[in-house]
Amino acid sequence: AKFVYFFGNGEADGRADMKNLLGGKGANLAEMTSIGLPVPPGFTITTEVCTEFYKNNSAYPAGLNDEVAANLKRVEQLMGRTFGDAVNPLLVSVRSGARASMPGMMDTVLNLGLNDTTVQGIIAQSGDERFAYDAYRRFVQMYSDVVMGMDKEALEHLLEQKKEEKGVHLDTDLTAADWKDLVAKFKARIREVLGQEFPEDPQEQLWGAIGAVFGSWMNQRAITYRKLNNIPADWGTAVNVQSMVFGNMGDDCATGVAFTRDPSTGDNYFYGEYLVNAQGEDVVAGIRTPQPINLHQKKEGDLPAMEEVLPECYQQLAGIRQILEKHYKDMQDIEFTIEKGKLYMLQTRNGKRTACAAIKIAVDMVKEGLIDEKAAILRVQPSQLDQLLHPSLDPKAPKKIIAKGLPASPGAAAGTAVFTADEAELLARNGQKVILVRIETSPEDIHGMHAAQGILTARGGMTSHAAVVARGMGKCCVAGCGDLKVDYASQSFTARHGVVIKKGDLITLDGSTGEVIMGEVATVPPQLTGDFATLMEWVDKYRKLKVRTNADTPNDSKVAREFGAEGIGLCRTEHMFFEADRIMAVREMILAEDLEGREKALAKILPMQKGDFIGIFREMKGLPVTIRLLDPPLHEFLPTEDKDIEALTKTLNVTTQQLKHKVEFLHEFNPMLGHRGCRLGLTYPEIYDMQVQAIMEAACELVKNEGFSIVPEIMIPLIATVSELKELKANAVAVCEEVMASYGVKLEYLIGTMIELPRAALTADEIATEAEFFSFGTNDLTQTTFGLSRDDAGKFLPFYVETNLLPEDPFVTLDQNGVGKLVKMACELGRSTRPEIKLGICGEHGGDPASVIFCHKVGLDYVSCSPFRVPIARLAAAHAVL
């Protein structure tokens, strides 16, 4: 196999579509080179070498050495410099780059090839001793950190000491002699701490750095990032070795990052940040506040834009922006460096963006003729929509703004302020909502960012680590908030007008405006018009699967319909029983001594249930509605507090003692598998009879008086055998016929069942002889198939997922191999005895994109999910087709 791929001077061995082999960075460096963009020459060592490296106990495959040497020679020839040469030395960067971008997760070493000899060559070449020693000391710092495992702080400390000694504040105030002295001091300290010399030999440096990049694939933060983003460990990283260009050789030099469109709004403007006379990560590190690249972005008080300072380079870059978008047909995130007025491209990739921007860019690109509707649909990830479907701050709510930063990632979030990632994780685990406040974030903070509702940083721009990662996570972020003085020692920050927020105080962030607000602010529902509506129109055109919602109230139904729900897949009647004015009647029914007592109580509940159904049917305007009869164990409704028990004794005319005894009697050891669902309907038929009566009366009334067309779907839960269903269906049919006769109307209705027990799935052919539809209750089906209780799984399920015993939480994403197999089997069996049977799913999985795609594949008619997930399911259903 070929281990090394060259790029330089308009020619490249690799291509953009070779990301698996070359990593994203390497593949795109190759592509940019071959379309004629100015890329410093270099070569990429493949991800296969990384995989081999880990397989073979950190040994490289035979032949790698020779290939690296040959490619290095080609770079030397193009550059007219020689690696390790005393007079005209070549310096390189050694950069990691996996298939999927993992911003800041792995390590990069710049200025490699410097030593006490070659630095003289750099001085002679550049005529700038200060620059040369500054580059040298950066190299020693980076290399010792990344490759040798030296503590960064130890060298930073020496640098601080130097500045103090010289009485200066800024790095830029140090002279060539200072840097030279520091290089020597750094090396001495490294020797002292590690008992090891800093390598002088450039070849040793090169191989050290290559090994470190491969090694960084398995560092803790890369592992965490992969886990959060579902990136398999066996993908490996590539290593890019590239000749250095310098953005830090003076005021005609610069380095920057940009997006070809605004990653936050999706607006079609060039958007970026740069720094004059700076190297590498200075822009994203948040140490100096970066400047805008153009006048469009420039706001009052900003430093001059690149468009003003380096107009020719800016124009060239703006041209490259167009070339890249036409070529990649997607928004790009680029890195560039200007050395002495000459522009170089160092990276391009498809840019991360907010959900809102993703939609706008996709819709705009269709209008611009760059992509078609199908491509546009695939550009937006279903899970991303979540961001848009959630509330933003109520514009009318009063708010005390205490600071303003950059609107780095939109949405609104409120929580208590915390100042470390560990604390954020800890509190979030206990169910608290927190806002992570940092001076700036680094990859070490990733777990805390994940746990927080929102992220607030004092330093760093729109492309800082915090901003990029937050946008990727779909999390609200306010970055670069210069109003803040964060003090880690006292766990507090001071905002405008001296307002102090301490750990534990409530704050609210508005990621769309950059505002930081004291306390918790009210929110308003999302806007679903404009580009969002356009995209969803396309989505509906292509998808086959219908999307219904789980809704128990007229209001939920209304929200869901606005989100595009095409019916209700699950209306849980028990939720209607919990309201304060009803629970008494329900308790009365449960605790009644005999049939007569129960019927008396049920008569009180009947009109309320009927009212519920009228409201829901009306709201759904003739769309299908599946109503599930009472499901949970009765004891869930029982009074636990003494005052509630007292109140009941009067209604039921029993003593406290008797009542407590009855409550105790109803206690179950394992209610999930106890007296619930159809088992209640069989032992207390009057309960289901009342519910069916309420459903049918509601429907008949609307049909008769308001001219509605309604086909009620009555669903019987927890069926294990066809005999259960047969009896309950007969009861229900009798009630339906009776009601229709009394109203003098005839309407169609369906009686079906949940498939949520393995036995039901296994005997679905028998069950389908009675059931007119199946709805897969995959929450219970997952519990009963795995034999694990959802309510107790919190203690061990996270461990299973962390240690890869399970690839995912099966309550979040349907276990396709196990539970999914039962679903698939039940579909086939059901259709074998009733070909026209309606099939749907009503578990939480109905709103999980991967599960939706599965449902499409097994041929369900619809999925049903919570109202806020309806658009996500619609989009996933379209992805399933395309």
Residues recognised as catalytic: 465, 842
Q: Consult the annotation and say whether 74 binds a ligand.
A: no
Burial label for 553, CB within 10 Å (0-12, 13-18, 19+), is middle
Q: Residue 362's closest CA among 384, 343, 391?
A: 384
| 8 Å CB contact between 485 and 458 | yes
Asked if residue 522 lies in contact with residue 397, where contact means CB atoms within 8 angstroms, the answer is yes
Q: Among Mg ion, ligand ADP, none, what does residue 780 contact (CB within 5–8 Å per kind)?
A: Mg ion
Q: Minimal distance in Å, beta carbon 216 to ligand ADP?
A: 10
State the angle between helix axes of 722-743 and 685-706 in degrees (0 to 180), rounded to the nearest 10.
40
Binding-site string for ligand ADP from residue 224 to residue 253, where x marks contact by CB under 6 A and - marks none: ------------------x-xx--------
Write the DSSP symbol of residue 167: T
* Bridge partner list, 479: 406
Q: Considering beta carbons, is residue 35 or 672 the nearer one to Mg ion?
A: 672
How far apart, in whole angstroms, are the C-alpha atoms of residue 676 and residue 680? 5
* Contacted by 777, from Mg ion, ligand ADP, none: CB < 5 to 8 Å by type: Mg ion
The answer to whether 337 contacts ligand ADP (rule: CB under 6 A) is: yes
Quote the least distance from Cβ 97 to ligand ADP, whole Å: 7
Comparing CB distances to ligand ADP, the nearer of 245 and 768 is 245
Instruction: Choose which of 82, 255, 492, 731 interacts with ligand ADP (CB under 6 A).
Output: 255
**Which is nearer to ligand ADP, 246 or 862 (by Cβ)?**
246
For ligand ADP, the binding residue among 129, 145, 178, 335 (CB under 6 A) is 335
353 Cβ contact list (under 8 Å, min separation 6)? 259, 263, 264, 266, 331, 361, 471
Q: Tell which positions 695-724 bind ligand ADP, by CB under 6 A.
A: none
CB of 240 to Mg ion, least distance (A): 10
Partner from Mg ion, ligand ADP, none contacting 481, C-beta within 5 to 8 A by type: none
- Check whether 756 is labelled as a binding-site residue: yes
Q: Which one of 104-112, 550-558, 565-573, 686-694 is the stretch in contact with ligand ADP (CB under 6 A)?
A: 104-112
Residue 779 counted as an annotated binding residue = yes
CA distance 24 to 103: 11
Q: Taking the CB of residue 813, how many other CB atoms lie within 10 A of it?
A: 17
Binding site for Mg ion (CB under 5 A): 347, 756, 777, 780
- 448 vs 777 by CB, closer to Mg ion: 777
- For 573-577, the CB contacts below 8 A with 24+ separation are 573/609, 573/612, 573/627, 573/628, 573/629, 573/630, 573/631, 573/691, 574/630, 574/631, 574/632, 574/636, 576/552, 576/608, 576/609, 576/612, 577/605, 577/637
| Position 95 contacts ligand ADP (CB under 6 A) | yes
The DSSP symbol for 302 reads P
Return the number of the residue (788 or 881) whose C-beta is nearest Mg ion: 788
Distance CA 254, CA 423 (A): 38
346 binds, among Mg ion, ligand ADP, none (CB under 5 to 8 A by kind): ligand ADP
Q: Is 828 annotated as a binding residue?
A: no
DSSP for 642-702, written as a single string = HHHHHHHHHHHT--HHHHHHHHHHH--S-GGGSS-THHHHHHSHHHHHHHHHHHHHHHHHH
DSSP 84-136: T-SSSEE-EEEEEEESS--TTTS-EEEEET--TTHHHHHHHHHS-HHHHHHHH
Instruction: Find all residues with CB under 8 Å of 829, minimum gap 6, and list them.
Output: 761, 763, 764, 765, 768
* Least distance CB 105 / ligand ADP (angstroms): 7
Backbone angles phi, psi at 626, to 5 degrees: -100, 120
CA–CA separation, 818 vs 823, rounded Å? 9
Radius of gyration of the chain (CA): 33
Instruction: Give 280 or 474: the residue with its C-beta nearer to ligand ADP.
Output: 280
- Smallest gap from Cβ 299 to Mg ion, in A, equals 26
Of 108 and 354, CB closest to ligand ADP: 108
CA nearest 109: which of 74, 133, 138? 138
User: Minimum Å distance from CB 91 to ligand ADP?
Assistant: 8
> Which of the choices Mg ion, ligand ADP, none does residue 40 contact, using the CB cut-off of 5 to 8 A by kind?
ligand ADP
In what helix (H) or strand (E) does residue 481 lie, and over which residues does it extend?
A: none
Kindly tell me which of 347 and 731 has the beta carbon lying closer to ligand ADP.
Answer: 347
Residue 789: other Cβ atoms inside 10 A: 13
Q: Can residue 280 be called a binding residue for ligand ADP (CB under 6 A)?
A: yes
Instruction: Tell me the closest approach of the beta carbon of residue 34 to ligand ADP, in angstroms.
Output: 18
Q: Which of residues 20-59 bind ligand ADP (CB under 6 A)?
A: 40
Q: Which residue is nearest to Mg ion (CB)?
A: 780
| Contact map string, positions 113 to 152, toward ligand ADP, x by CB under 6 A | ----------------------------------------
Sequence-ordered list of residues with C-beta below 8 angstroms from that of 741, at least 6 positions apart, any chain: none
20 is in an annotated binding site: no
Binding at 756: pick from ligand ADP, Mg ion, none (beta carbon under 5-8 Å per type): Mg ion
- Shortest distance (Å) from residue 109 CB to ligand ADP: 9
Is residue 572 a known part of a binding site? yes
93 binding ligand ADP? (CB under 6 A) = yes
Question: Shortest approach of Mg ion to residue 346 CB, angstroms?
Answer: 7
242 binds, among ligand ADP, Mg ion, none (CB under 5 to 8 A by kind): ligand ADP
Q: Should residue 281 be labelled a site residue for ligand ADP when binding is judged by CB under 6 A? A: yes
Which residues are annotated as part of the binding site? 572, 628, 756, 777-780
Which residues are annotated as part of the binding site for Mg(2+)? 756, 780
Per CB under 6 A, residues contacting ligand ADP are 40, 93, 95, 104, 108, 110, 242, 244-245, 255, 280-281, 335, 337, 346-347
